[in-house]
Amino acid sequence: MSDTQAEAALSFVRHEPLPPAPPPMAYRGPVHRVRHNLFSSVGNSIMTIAALYAIYLLVSAIVPWVVNGVWDASSIRDCRAQLDGKIGGCFAVIAERWPQLVFGNYPKAQYGRAMLAFVLLFAALAPLLFIELPRKLLWFTGVFPFIGYWLIWGGTIWVPILALVGIVVGYLVFVRLERQSFFGALMAGLLAMALFWGLLVGPIASGLASLVPLRLEPVQSREIGGFMINFILGTTCMALSLPIGIALALGRQSDLPIIKAICVMFIEFIRGVPLITLLFVASVMLAYFLPPGTNFDLILRVIIMITLFASAYMAEAIRGGLAALPKGQYEAGSSLGLDYWQSMRLIILPQALKISIPSIVNIAIGLFKDTTLVSIISMFDVLGMIGGPILSSTDWFGVYWELYAFAGLMFFVFCFGISKYSQYLERKLNTAHR
């Protein structure tokens, strides 16, 4: 056998590719990541060292303050006696005054009602936040606002039940007239609901309460405070401002000049006025425009003002989402034979809201934190409780960092949760790679 024949007999053709070889040691592992991300240049190295030094200073100051903290003391003087010159926080004020920080002056015997409302809120939000859950659970989402109101404010159960009946009446009127005109049916439904609330709820509720007295111990709005009122204002105003913002965004893009002018003036006026000014109007000036002797609850006035304030910003965020859609999406609705409202409901708004998620979440987080401004109009939210009843006490006068750190931690937990949920929702609705 010749050499050529021998080589041909020994030849081999691989039918499978070789497995990829690992990268060299110099380009993998934690050492490479640290060198590439933190010390890739002289400037990055200086910034890394400065940042590490700043972190060291913070940790060296915070850790002893937390580790040496006192959790069991009767006053700030007792805390200082236990610390005996060491660096440490007086966390005993939180252990003693946490009911005031969370519930304000809410009656202690009724804490269970407030906590039950808090738990039921998350049960009601679950079908809205997670689309994997059965849609049948949405009935509880619609009923919860009336249950929550009754649990927190108390009184007869017939008032929230009849308020719910009023919404049902308005919805039935809307469904009855929807085929003739969507906008006209919407206005007729709102009018029917308002008339039912204004004319029938009071007399019917009084009659039913005398026959079947189902009631809880009433709680006045002035007794609701602490983080509880921040949470009520934040969740309520966020829920109400989104649909109003959608209506304002559509009105601003309307071809009807009067509706467009009203929406533009409202949005620009609200965005040009500080929230604290609107809160002062709700607290002081609004009473001058009401009939003498009218008792308009302060929390309701604040909810209205904060909702109007947030809805103007929501409108601009949603208008940005509407402007980002290509013209072909609008033409697609027309080509399918859909009218304006059907096209908006089925094609345009779902896409615009998905685009606007980051902006909407940013507004929601800012709104939730801005609820602390109500302390300026003498509403004892969590900051109002810290600056008022707690620090005015001689037992805890001088304890600042511990209380404000606790308040900041509560806000961080909820705001961070909102942010993480928005990221989850963006990933869930991302159809670019499907």
φ, ψ of residue 90 to 5 degrees: the values are: -100, 75
DSSP lists the bridge partners of residue 112 as none
Taking alpha carbons only, the member of 298, 161, 323, 295 closest to residue 225 is: 298
Strand ranges in 136-247 using DSSP code E only, listed in sequence order: 155-156, 215-216
Whether 263 and 331 share a structural domain? yes
Whether 335 and 402 share a structural domain? yes
Tell me the residue type at 253. Q
The owner of tokens 């921040």 is 230
pTM above 0.85, yes or no: no
At 13, list the tokens.
């053709």
Assign 274 to helix, strand or coil: coil
Using DSSP bridges, classify how beta strands 155-156 and 215-216 pair: parallel, antiparallel or unpaired.
antiparallel
Whether 232 and 196 share a structural domain? no
The verdict on residue 410 lying in a domain is yes
Whether 374 and 398 share a structural domain? yes
342, 343, 346, 347 alpha-carbon torsion, rounded to 10°: 180
Angstrom distance (rounded) from CA 166 to CA 208: 16
Contact between residue 390 and residue 403 where contact means Cβ atoms under 8 Å apart: yes
Alpha helices in 38-137 (DSSP H): 42-67, 76-83, 92-103, 111-129
CB-neighbour burial class of residue 375 (10 A; exposed 0-12, middle 13-18, buried 19+): buried
- Single residue among 195, 216, 237 that ends a domain in this structure: 216
Q: Which domain holds residue 39?
A: 25-67
Whether 264 and 311 share a structural domain? yes
At 385, list the tokens.
């409780």
Whether 235 and 187 share a structural domain? no
Q: What is the pLDDT along the chain (434 residues), one digit of tens a residue?
A: 555 555 555 556 777 787 877 766 656 677 777 777 788 888 888 998 999 999 999 998 888 888 888 888 888 888 888 888 788 888 888 888 888 899 988 999 899 999 999 999 988 888 888 878 887 888 888 899 999 999 999 888 988 898 999 999 988 988 888 777 777 888 888 899 989 888 888 888 888 888 888 888 999 888 888 899 999 999 999 999 999 999 899 888 888 889 889 999 999 999 888 988 888 888 877 767 666 666 778 888 889 889 999 999 999 999 888 888 888 887 787 787 777 777 888 888 888 888 888 888 889 898 999 898 888 887 888 888 888 888 888 888 888 888 898 999 999 999 998 888 888 888 887 765 55
The verdict on residue 176 lying in a domain is yes
Name the domain count of the chain: 3
